[in-house]
Amino acid sequence: DFTNPQTRAWWFSKRQYLLDMGVSGFKTDGGECILSDEVLFSDGSTGKDMRNRYPQSYVDAYQEFIGQERITFSRAGYLGAQRSMLYWAGDQLSQWSELQAVLKAGLSSAISGIFWWGFDIAGFAGPMPSKELYIRSYELGSLVPLMQWHSEPVGGQFSELLKSEDLINDRSPWHMGARYSADLLDICKRYSIMRKALQWYLVREAQVSEQKLQPMMRPLFYEYTSLYCDVEDQYLLGSSLLVAPLLHEGQTSRSVLIPQGSWFDLFTQETLEGPCTIEREYPLGQIGIFLNTKDPEFTRLQESFGSLCV
């Protein structure tokens, strides 16, 4: 009950030693559940009153405790969630429909003021992802503001609902590579190298986002016009990267809407003048990536993707 100052002080006194040890922050998991509408909080609020307010009071309390130099990494929130540091999309199952939904969740979060967002690559729970799903999700996950993989431990909350024969739920690239094939691990390695090489760009664009109060991952209509309002499967990552992921089982090609401007197609090495719509083939291990040729550091940006163009 974070509405009770004494309880709040007691709770965080038990966690002060972690700050003293030098931890950088807390993963403020959960937070969206209240036992019943009849629960009574210290300030007189009922469970019904706090249904939406509690998640934010929880995250805000932790943020106040750790200060502005450390981070919270949360999944639940309410009005004011944009004040908190980092968010991820919660628990997804390893299904194609969840991958499709998570991109919409990211874009919705972005235009709601939540700039620093990510998701569990290839899902958190349920039956293990297929090789194809894992790779397609890894491609997408490497090109959002926060990249992470995470999975439910054996015997976790979904284990009774979704029976699985797997004794190990680990969705790490090395475990999935051992489960399927070496080429899966190689693809993940190349995207991880790319992510590291792109760090300078992500830092630059993060600073721009802070200065201009605009999301780093944003739908096309945010940057251009309302004509792009129905584009739900492409997005911009910063000002100079256009991303077009593959989100459906068996999909190896897609149409890409190129907005106005001059864009360099990473995999075909063509320069395209928008607006236009193109058709492209994307075998497993390739995702639609287009670079704004007007970026002041275009050559450096192009070189950052070297691991994908071998």
| Predicted pLDDT of residue 161 | 58
The answer to whether residue 183 is domain-embedded is no
Q: Looking at the domain assignment, is residue 199 inside a domain?
A: no
Average pLDDT over residues 155-164: 59
- Choose the catalytic residue: 60, 91, 120, 139: 91
Instruction: Report the C-alpha gap between 275 and 262 in whole angstroms.
Output: 9
pLDDT of amino acid 164 = 58
pLDDT-based confidence at residue 24 (cuts at 50, 70, 90): very high
The pTM (predicted TM-score) of the whole model is 0.92
Q: Residue 262's Cα: distance from chain center in Å?
A: 27
Nearest to 247 by CA among 155, 78, 132, 163: 132
Q: Which one is catalytic: 1, 32, 49, 223?
A: 32
At 284, the amino acid letter reads L
166/108: higher pLDDT: 108
Q: How far apart are CA 19 and CA 23, in angstroms?
A: 5
**Does the residue 193 lie in any domain?**
no
Asked which of 55, 88, 121 is the last residue of a domain, the reply is 88
Q: Which of helix, strand or coil describes residue 250? A: coil
39 is a domain residue: yes
Q: Indicate the burial class of 2 (C-beta count within 10 angstroms; 0-12, 13-18, 19 or more).
A: buried
According to the model, what pLDDT value does residue 203 have? 97
Task: State the average pLDDT over residues 206-219.
Answer: 94
- Domain presence at residue 274: yes
- What residue numbers bound the domain in which 227 lies? 215-308
pLDDT in the model for residue 167: 59
* Location of structure tokens 């497993």: 284
Q: 215: cis peptide before it, omega within 30°?
A: no
58 pLDDT band, cuts 50/70/90, is: very high
If 0-12 CB within 10 Å is exposed, 13-18 middle and 19+ buried, where does residue 243 land? buried
DSSP, collapsed to helix, strand or coil, labels residue 188 as helix
What's the whole-number average pLDDT of the chain?
92
**Is the residue at 129 inside a domain?**
no
Alpha-carbon Rg for the chain, nearest whole angstrom, is 21
Report the number of distinct structural domains present in the chain.
2
Question: What does the pLDDT read at residue 156?
Answer: 60
- Set 29, 37, 43, 249: catalytic member: 29
pLDDT of residue 85: 81
Task: Say what the pLDDT of residue 165 is.
Answer: 59
Number of residues written out for the chain = 310
Which of these three, 29, 60, 88, is where a domain ends? 88
233: domain CATH number is: 2.60.40.1180
How far is residue 138's CA from residue 130's CA, in Å, rounded to a whole number?
Answer: 12
Domain contains 134 = no
Distance CA 256, CA 244 (A): 7
Dist. CA 222–CA 287, nearest whole Å = 22
* Active site annotation includes 32: yes
Question: pLDDT, tens digit, for every residue of 74-132?
Answer: 998 888 888 888 999 988 889 999 999 999 999 999 999 999 999 999 999 888 899 99
Q: Give the model's confidence band at 158: pLDDT under 50 very low, under 70 low, under 90 confident, else very high.
A: low
Lowest mean pLDDT among 70-74, 152-156, 211-215, 293-297: 152-156
Residue 185: inside a domain, yes or no? no
Q: How far is CA 72 from CA 17, 105, 148, 233, 246, in A?
A: 17, 19, 15, 28, 31
Domain boundary among 38, 53, 88: 88
Q: Is 91 a catalytic residue?
A: yes
pLDDT number for residue 233: 97
